[in-house]
Structure 1
Amino acid sequence: MKAAQKAQDKNSNIYKLRHSLAHIMAQAVLEIRPNAKLGFGPPVDNGFYYDFDFGEESISSSDFKDIEKRMKKIVKQKQTFEASQKSLEEAIKFLEETNQNYKIEFAKELVENGKAENGQLDFYTNGPFTDMCEGFHLEDTGKVPKASFKLDKIAGSYWRGDEKRPTLTRIYGLAFESVEELKDYVKRRELAKQRDHRKLGAELDLFVLDEEVGVGLPLWLPNGTIIRDELEKWAHEIEFKAGYQRVSTPCITRSNLYFRSGHLPYYTEGMFPPMTIDDHDEYYLRPMNCPHHHKLYAARPRSYRDLPIRLSEYGDVFRYEKHGSLAGILRVRAMSMNDAHIYCERDQVKEEFTEVMKMYRFYYDHLRLGNFRVRLSLHDKDSEKFVDSEEQWQESENIVREVLKENNIDFDEEVGEAAFYGPKVDIQLSNVMGREETVSTCQLDFLMPDRFDLVYTDSNGESKRPFILHRAPLSTHERMIAFLIELYGGAFPTWLSPVQTLIIPVNDTVHEYAKQIEQRLFDNMVRVELDLGGETFNKKIRRGITRKIPNIWIIGNSEMDEQAITWRRYCVKDQVKIGLDKACDNLINWRDKRVMDNFEDVKISE
């Protein structure tokens, strides 16, 4: 079970620990701010928080030491968590008397919506503190492991998450089942801060986020564009070898197309508002490329001899993500997707799906993205989100399940996460902090062939509907590069690095030799820089390291005499003196073969 899932298991010890600590913290805070009003205090993935209304009083992180001291005292007292119930009338009276007026609103909702069993509301008491909550605590405060928690930060929050409601003060705490886990989390979080793609993206001049342009609309600088181009070039080569045909389609289309596909109304909330053209026609920025590709398939008569047809496009798409969900370039409103659609016969589906999964594995292994979780996302027959065709759902879900099993791919199933037109395999990748994001998907579509009247003529001359696979193994440029920045800490391999080699001459006498090397690399399409500035040699080295350039070639008199270079690799202790011809061969080989030389197991061949 994943950490996030475990944290939400209310019977798990970690959930009970974090929930208990939320109460313990609230009790400690009220000891120093007795007039504070309570909001909610739930456990969360890495700890807990509690919301307070301090009125004219205030609280800051300077109070944490005092609060933690009081919390530890409460832990030592081994206060038991005792359950009780109150009617709505009793609950309102108690909440008014204890200055918990915010919870009166919630208490009324629970009773009115039938969520309070027999109209009774649950309360839990530990020592002098009583809170209205649904329970799941430790037996007593003494069960909190020593040194397993710490207060973390203060933030603002809106009551019930509504920006029109009062602003509360939220105090966050970290909590784990052991001091070792807590220390490990703090260490990993510090690493995550250092590797945050927004921080490194600015430092390495990869992209710009400008509010005047618009939130969620990244501008790619030359360095970032190089990484995009290299990934796209790689995908073009791999897809060419796999039999894909590249296409190009517009980023805007008439609303009719999306009504036909079902994105209107199924996906309306994820689309930008329409533009009215010529006083009557509505046009939308596309949120995905699929309908355009379907129209390309339908543009010509198709025979079983043509199938499978694999159409690919790095297409720009636009999605109206909510402002609060935007995160650097990980979650944006404008993105370029490694998209493709495979049109095939029923008996070709398994083979095509298998080949797509192999492609995913190849990309992920090569990029050293590490372990990832495969999720089979299924429909929910009780949800209006999905088209009503239970027989087709069952058939398509069974096909995908069989492919995963036959290829010995471990997977979890999750109901309700499918696309509205079919089941999908989601690749769930974890970042440094262990937080999962869906990076890539592969979807089996049984609906669109009907909606777009897509047909092919089978071997008997009869008209049949193809199946469609939607796939995007390299995700979007934005999401994939965000993950790679954080995984590599901004230190890209030579083939992806904006500057592949930095040449630093030791003195003026070797400038001409250094220029010759620069020209040789330039002629071989290597992204090279020559630093002839007036700064000290050590300062030039430090600047190259700060820019995370993978290869620094140092040129001195002995290197010039021997027609050699001294090679310093990023984050590799030992420098290597090597002949110029051999050095160029190494560099070009790493680039051409896309060697992952940012990992220490890659050595220079002398």
Structure 2
Amino acid sequence: MTQLSFEFPDGKVKQFDAGVDIKSIAKSIAISLAKKAVAGKVDGQMVGVNTPLNKGGKVEVITSDSKDGLSVLRNTAAQLLKAALHDTYHDDIKFGTNGAYDDGFYVDTDKKENQVSADELQPLSDKMNKMIKHNVPLKRVILSKADALNQVDGDPYQAKLVNKFASNDQVAFYQINDYMSLANGVVLPSAGSVKYFKLLSVAGAYWEGKSSNPMLQRIYATAFVKKVDLDADVKKRQEARERDHRVIGNKLDLFFVDPKVGQGLPYWMPNGATIRRVIERYIVDKEVAAGYEHVYTPVLMNLNAYKTSGHWAHYRDDMFPPMKMKDGEELELRPMNCPSHIQIYNRHIRSYRELPLRIAELGMMHRYEKAGALSGLQRVREMTLNDGHTFVAPDQIQDEFKRILNLMVDVYHDFDISNYHFRLSYRDPKNTTKYFQNDALWNKSQKMLKGAMDDLGLDYVEAEGEAAFYGPKLDVQTYTALGNEETLSTIQLDFMLPKRFDLHYVGKDGKDHQPVMIHRGIVSTMERFVAYLIEMYKGAFPTWLAPKQVKIIPVSLDKHGDYAKKINAKLRKLHIRSEVENRSEKMGYLIRDAQTHKIPYTLVVGDDEMSNNQVSVRQYGHKDSKDESIDEFVKQIQKDIQSYSRHYGE
């Protein structure tokens, strides 16, 4: 019998007979390890736990409690789901790809008539549990490419995958009962260990991730080795759903997106528009106080400007097609505001005395996001950026960078944002297509940003390859309620665009000098920022941001309606967003409805309140109410609003 040599992670080498499997190798080390073994790696290649090995190498035993082991479990669950789907729909269903990912596993399907719906997940789960209960084997079967194509005949997606996976004219399948499933990843020998799984949801997914391909239905699911881990994950997902800005936005009537009239183009309803308006007024006032000049510039620009800036060369696929006019001009919906602000700078001859020159705008932009990436307000095709560009002399860079960063931190404090970290994003010097080529400028600008952060004593991480094509940047990274990392704010240093647009200022020496341009966005786009706040606050906006700040409920519309209207008029005159409840419903229902809509203050007025010129005040999230004079309540809510709700209800 031929002997094979295997080297273990600790450096030890052992000899085994050819045909040995990972389970036997693990058993030779320890019985307990053999029990936990679910797969192995030989020279970095994953192999099944019972797969006969015919060559030696560096070997590692994969256990059920490892990350790789969890992937094996989830790959197995994905194969069981495919078998359950085939058993349910037979030849009426086709399969795309399937497999494990960080949060679970998925299977892509294409059903003959209606796609698989969320209502069908429980019966599919029951069939999987039946296979698990009977510990159904997943037998690995090797077919020739010709036999494999015959096996998947009638399924164009699987046929394409057979051609992709074929190696040495062989293709691997797993036989599960009477179903032959195309292999994708290593699985467990049998179904019995897949005890704790959950089918989660369904959503559209393009075949091969390309929007030009057919839309398939993706079934999302997850699985864990231990029940406690599954329970924790389900709870976490429930919390995420409760914070999902798309769900809350619908419940509170903040915005909607209708694909029939435009994918990725949100409509702001009055409640959402109010939140946005408050943020816009806040940030404009904040920036004006910080020395910014606010402007308005067109949403359209001659395409040549974006060719000069480099956006056309670098981001053409993310831009809308140019509009060719009858006079020969080509106009482009702007994807960035920087060329527009450059035109503002270039309108006059600039002196060093004007620098730093700070230009800001709530500038509308359009980007052609792929349909599959669109998501509520977080990923859209039309957006309004809280944009700003500062033109500085080279010796002003670090001071201006610190000034912008301090403004950013101040704004975050007002919005009560604390869960963020800083990332210095550098170029990848090996990527000669994405980044403009000037080693000296890149090294100089990256060193400047790093020096400013060090001077401020702020912690940060460094990320190569995350810079803009024209310069390095500081990104402020946050996490959404769904666990996705987002760039909320950014400061970018740019030596390139001033050179491309031939920008100058007259220096102290009377000669022309080139300014440096600093791009910055404090609160990102209005769309992304509102989405972030919806999830952060779980829809319960602090009083200063809430679309409706006060709901006044008269006990009887006939008897107390005029008194409620009088209070409402007083509050509105003070720019407090209040309204009178005019529905003839039971008092308990109306109070609960105000709480459901997360209105910060509910005022109930009846005979006693009207007699004493008072209101009965109930704050959101509180069960008890208290009587106050109208003037006392006004003083309280004004303090709440003016302090950015840091003294909520005091």
Q: Is the 8 A contact 1:565 1:580 kept in 2?
A: yes
Q: What corresponds to 2:340 in structure 1?
A: 292
Secondary structure at the residue paired with 2:297?
coil
Q: Is the 8 A contact 1:188 1:432 kept in 2?
A: no
17, 23, 34: which is aligned to 2:76?
23
Moved more, 125-134 or 334-343: 125-134
Q: What corresponds to 2:107 in structure 1?
A: 50
| Structure 1: distance between partners of 2:499 and 2:482 | 43
Q: What corresponds to 2:649 in structure 1?
A: 604
Q: What corresponds to 2:607 in structure 1?
A: 557
Q: What corresponds to 1:451 in structure 2?
A: 500
518, 536, 541: which is aligned to 1:492?
541
Cα shift readout 1:500-519 (whole Å, capped 9, x = no counterpart): 21112224544444333222
552, 574, 577: which is aligned to 1:503?
552
| Structure 1: distance between partners of 2:206 and 2:383 | 31
| Structure 2: distance between partners of 1:455 and 1:238 | 28
Q: Deviation of residue 67 (structure 1)?
A: 0.7
Q: What corresponds to 1:420 in structure 2?
A: 469
- Does residue 214 of the first structure (1) align with residue 286 of the second (2)? no
Q: Is the 8 A contact 1:52 1:168 kept in 2?
A: yes
Alpha-carbon spacing, 1:301–1:165, altered in 2? closer, same or farther (3 Å): closer
Q: Deviation of residue 150 (structure 1)?
A: 2.4
Cα shift readout 1:546-567 (whole Å, capped 9, x = no counterpart): 3322111122333333332221
Q: Which amino acid aligns with 2:378?
A: L
Q: Is the 8 A contact 2:257 2:263 kept in 1?
A: yes
Q: Is the 8 A contact 1:261 1:452 kept in 2?
A: yes
Q: Is the 8 A contact 1:24 1:71 kept in 2?
A: no
| Structure 2: distance between partners of 1:57 and 1:263 | 42
Q: Deviation of residue 521 (structure 1)?
A: 1.4
Q: Is the 8 A contact 2:489 2:522 kept in 1?
A: yes
Alpha-carbon spacing, 1:351–1:72, altered in 2? closer, same or farther (3 Å): farther
Q: What corresponds to 1:473 in structure 2?
A: 522
Secondary structure at the residue paired with 1:41?
strand
78, 92, 99: which is aligned to 2:145?
92
Cα shift readout 1:370-422 (whole Å, capped 9, x = no counterpart): 41243332223324122122322222222223333433433333333221111
Q: Deviation of residue 594 (structure 1)?
A: 2.2
Q: Is the 8 A contact 1:227 1:496 kept in 2?
A: yes
Q: Deviation of residue 265 (structure 1)?
A: 2.1
Alpha-carbon spacing, 1:105–1:501, altered in 2? closer, same or farther (3 Å): closer
Q: Which amino acid aligns with 2:337?
A: N
Alpha-carbon spacing, 1:57–1:578, altered in 2? closer, same or farther (3 Å): closer
Structure 2 residues not aligned, in runs of 5+: 1-45, 47-61
- 5 Å matches for 1:333-344? 333-344=381-392
Alpha-carbon spacing, 1:93–1:408, altered in 2? closer, same or farther (3 Å): farther
Q: Deviation of residue 575 (structure 1)?
A: 1.5
- Does residue 41 of the first structure (1) align with residue 94 of the second (2)? no
Q: Deviation of residue 15 (structure 1)?
A: 4.4
Alpha-carbon spacing, 1:95–1:52, altered in 2? closer, same or farther (3 Å): farther
Secondary structure at the residue paired with 1:194?
helix
Question: With structure 1 as the length reference, what TM-score do the two structures score?
Answer: 0.84
Alpha-carbon spacing, 1:166–1:360, altered in 2? closer, same or farther (3 Å): closer
Q: Deviation of residue 224 (structure 1)?
A: 2.0
Q: What corresponds to 1:281 in structure 2?
A: 329
Q: Is the 8 A contact 1:321 1:333 kept in 2?
A: yes
Alpha-carbon spacing, 1:469–1:69, altered in 2? closer, same or farther (3 Å): farther
Q: Deviation of residue 331 (structure 1)?
A: 1.4
Alpha-carbon spacing, 1:404–1:15, altered in 2? closer, same or farther (3 Å): farther
Q: Is the 8 A contact 2:494 2:518 kept in 1?
A: yes
Q: What corresponds to 1:4 in structure 2?
A: none
Q: Is the 8 A contact 1:68 1:150 kept in 2?
A: no
RMSD: 3.5
Q: What corresponds to 1:368 in structure 2?
A: 416
Q: What corresponds to 1:321 in structure 2?
A: 369
Q: Is the 8 A contact 1:188 1:433 kept in 2?
A: no
Secondary structure at the residue paired with 1:198?
helix
Secondary structure at the residue paired with 1:152?
strand
- 5 Å matches for 1:538-577? 538-577=588-627
- Does residue 307 of the first structure (1) align with residue 337 of the second (2)? no
| Structure 1: distance between partners of 2:612 and 2:73 | 70
Moved more, 367-376 or 163-172: 163-172
131, 141, 160: which is aligned to 1:70?
131
| Structure 2: distance between partners of 1:142 and 1:210 | 42
Q: What corresponds to 1:580 in structure 2?
A: 630
Q: What corresponds to 1:432 in structure 2?
A: 481
Structure 1 residues not aligned, in runs of 5+: 1-9, 597-601
| Structure 1: distance between partners of 2:246 and 2:115 | 32
| Structure 2: distance between partners of 1:165 and 1:421 | 33
Q: Which amino acid aligns with 2:199?
A: L
353, 377, 386: which is aligned to 2:401?
353
Q: Which amino acid aligns with 1:582?
A: E
Q: What corresponds to 2:640 in structure 1?
A: 590
Q: What corresponds to 1:262 in structure 2?
A: 310
Q: What corresponds to 1:382 in structure 2?
A: 431
| Structure 1: distance between partners of 2:260 and 2:102 | 35
Moved more, 11-20 or 445-454: 11-20
Number of matched pairs: 574
Q: What corresponds to 1:407 in structure 2?
A: 456
Q: Is the 8 A contact 1:364 1:370 kept in 2?
A: yes
| Structure 1: distance between partners of 2:288 and 2:622 | 36
Q: Is the 8 A contact 1:504 1:531 kept in 2?
A: yes
| Structure 1: distance between partners of 2:110 and 2:276 | 47
Q: Deviation of residue 109 (structure 1)?
A: 5.0
Alpha-carbon spacing, 1:266–1:167, altered in 2? closer, same or farther (3 Å): closer
Moved more, 52-61 or 394-403: 52-61
Q: Deviation of residue 311 (structure 1)?
A: 0.7
Moved more, 469-478 or 486-495: 486-495
Alpha-carbon spacing, 1:267–1:163, altered in 2? closer, same or farther (3 Å): closer
Cα shift readout 1:126-179 (whole Å, capped 9, x = no counterpart): 9999965566x78x77996863x3233455655434577677664432134643
Q: Is the 8 A contact 1:491 1:549 kept in 2?
A: yes
- Does residue 205 of the first structure (1) align with residue 253 of the second (2)? yes
Q: Is the 8 A contact 1:301 1:456 kept in 2?
A: yes
Larger gyration radius, structure 1 or structure 2: 2
444, 468, 476: which is aligned to 1:395?
444
Q: What corresponds to 2:23 in structure 1?
A: none
Q: Which amino acid aligns with 2:386?
A: N
Alpha-carbon spacing, 1:587–1:53, altered in 2? closer, same or farther (3 Å): closer
Q: What corresponds to 1:599 in structure 2?
A: none
Secondary structure at the residue paired with 2:402?
helix
Q: Is the 8 A contact 2:78 2:105 kept in 1?
A: no
Alpha-carbon spacing, 1:122–1:211, altered in 2? closer, same or farther (3 Å): closer
Q: What corresponds to 2:15 in structure 1?
A: none
Q: Which amino acid aligns with 1:273?
A: P
| Structure 2: distance between partners of 1:156 and 1:239 | 42
| Structure 1: distance between partners of 2:618 and 2:71 | 48
Q: What corresponds to 1:196 in structure 2?
A: 244
Q: Deviation of residue 17 (structure 1)?
A: 0.9
| Structure 1: distance between partners of 2:224 and 2:190 | 15
Cα shift readout 1:226-247 (whole Å, capped 9, x = no counterpart): 2111101111221122111111
- 5 Å matches for 1:119-198? 132-133=183-184, 147=196, 149-154=197-202, 159-161=207-209, 170-176=218-224, 178-198=226-246
Q: Deviation of residue 360 (structure 1)?
A: 2.3
Indicate the percent of aligned positions where both proteins have the same amino acid: 35
Q: Deviation of residue 195 (structure 1)?
A: 3.5
